[in-house]
Amino acid sequence: MKKVFFSVLIIYLLYAVTMSSYLFLVDTPLPEAYIGTEADPNTFMNEEQLILSTDFSKWRNVLYFVHTPFEWLIYLFVICFGISQFFARWSKQLIKFKFFQTALYVILLSCLSFLITFPIKYVAYSISKQYGISIQTFESWMKDNLIGFWIEALLLTVVVYVIMYLISKSPKRWWLYTWLLSIPFTLFLMFIQPVVIDPLYNEFYPIQDKELEEEILQLANQVDIPADRVYEVKMSEKTNALNAYVTGIGSNLRIVLWDTTLMSLSKEEVLFVMAHEMGHYDLNHLKQLLIGMIALSFVGLFITSKLYQFTINNVGKQLNLKRNEMAAIPIILLILSLLSFTTSPMSNAISRAYEYQADRYAIDLTDEPDAAVATFHKLSVEGLADVNPPTIVKLFRYTHPPMVERITHIREYRNEIDKTK
């Protein structure tokens, strides 16, 4: 199995070199139809911004395509070299109760993964600072990483404990019971995230501009969004990027604006952004995505159970692993991660379609196409966005349409409306 790992490692290194070379060398020309239009970055970015956005995007893309399969290597490494088995045995020797055994195992596994991937994360942080997107101090960045570490460790402990328990009780149907339990668990996390998890990272408070808040709430009332307050989040100490979103479910539904967005956009532009986010809610995108995620997890867990059984049957003895052993959990995590990556182009395509719908919704609600285009220009400049990415990057990374397509879509939609009047 060690030979298998080193073979996979060589394949990974060849892949990393090839993919990095391609992403650094590829130049995606702007389609002729866009040249000279509002969607052409040459019309709203200066020469320095164009160079910076191109270079920054290439670094981000390389780090994504290198880092994602690197995580798979970690799972393979801890299994093939007996590290997972050692962590599991040690946890059982030190602790009597099963849940706390699981917690210690997860912490040990998470610590190892954190240390191995830390250099890549630090490079990503450094590049973001170098290009002026991040202004976060190293101390603040480390604090966010540590908070994320413990939140993920806690959630993973619960997931691993439940999965191992179900496998021991129902070897053939554990995946189905896991799926059924994942539904209320996901809804619970969505409910508590705005009020419990998000405030651990950033400071949230009622928006300071009360006049703007009133206009935003008026928009919300028009589309029956049950929100009675708009929240501002203090991001200006961490980033120069802009963002806004509607989050949470039920009584914890929140409309949130980054303070950087309020500093950079005009009132009309902010209202367009908020109308776009409200569109996601009113068009039931959040519910549809949730239903789609639940359906996809059903298929994913079924496939995972079959691949997991196949792996244990064929290499379980060589790895000294049994089906219901905690030490085998990296196999399940590896399979789930692989499935998530392979389905990302499909989920991203659906997300991009929803973004187009929300853009049209915002135009209908605000009647401000000029504000929409100006917003997209500012988002591109402040975030050094690649407005016309390579196809492979768009497929695997873009949950939102590239700005070239998004700006053009807005104008075409508005022209269609004008023709019908």
DSSP 80-118: HTTHHHHHHHHHHHH--SHHHHHHHHHHHHHHHHHHHHH
Please return the burial class of 56, using the count of CB atoms within 10 Å of its CB with bins 0-12, 13-18 and 19+: buried
Nearest to 87 by CA among 11, 160, 194: 160
pLDDT recorded at residue 228? 67
Residues 212/270, Cβ–Cβ less than 8 Å: yes
Enter the tokens of residue 158.
Answer: 């619960």
Does 229 reside within a domain? no
Sign for the CA dihedral angle at 380, 385, 390, 391 comes to negative
Does 262 reside within a domain? no
Q: What is the C-alpha to C-alpha distance for residues 333 and 228, in angstroms, rounded to an integer?
A: 40
Question: Is 67 annotated as ligand-binding?
Answer: no
Nearest to 86 by CA among 330, 334, 333, 336: 330
Enter the tokens of residue 74.
Answer: 């970690």
Domain count, the chain: 1
SS3 384: coil
Does 137 reside within a domain? yes
Full-model pTM: 0.89
Q: What is the CA radius of gyration of the chain?
A: 24
Give CA torsion, residues 301, 304, 309, 310, to 10 deg. Answer: 150
Nearest to 172 by CA among 302, 18, 328, 312: 302
Across the 421 residues of the chain, what is the mean pLDDT of every consecutive 10-residue run? 88 94 89 88 91 93 93 93 93 92 96 95 95 94 96 95 94 94 92 91 88 85 74 91 82 84 91 90 88 94 95 87 87 94 94 94 90 92 90 93 92 81 62
Does 162 reside within a domain? yes
pLDDT recorded at residue 418? 74
Question: Is 280 annotated as ligand-binding?
Answer: yes
pLDDT recorded at residue 249? 78
Does 265 reside within a domain? no
Q: Which helix (H) or strand (E) holds 53?
A: helix 47-80
Matching residue, tokens 């135009």: 363
Q: Residue 231's beta-bridge partner residues?
A: 206, 256
Q: What DSSP line would sit under 265-314, residue for residue? A: S-HHHHHHHHHHHHHHHHTTHHHHHHHHHHHHHHHHHHHHHHHHHHHHHH
Domain hosting residue 307, numbered range: 2-204+282-420
Task: Count other Cβ atoms within 10 Å, centred on residue 140.
Answer: 14
Sign for the CA dihedral angle at 331, 332, 335, 336 comes to negative
Instruction: Choose, from 359, 382, 386, 405, the residue flagged as catalytic.
Output: 359
Q: What is the C-alpha to C-alpha distance for residues 251 and 244, in angstroms, rounded to an integer?
A: 19
Does 273 reside within a domain? no
Does 104 reside within a domain? yes
277 in active site: yes
189: Cα separation from own chain's centroid: 15
Instruction: Choose, from 232, 277, 386, 405, the residue flagged as catalytic.
Output: 277
Question: Is 400 annotated as ligand-binding?
Answer: no
Does 56 reside within a domain? yes
359 in active site: yes
Residue type, 108: L
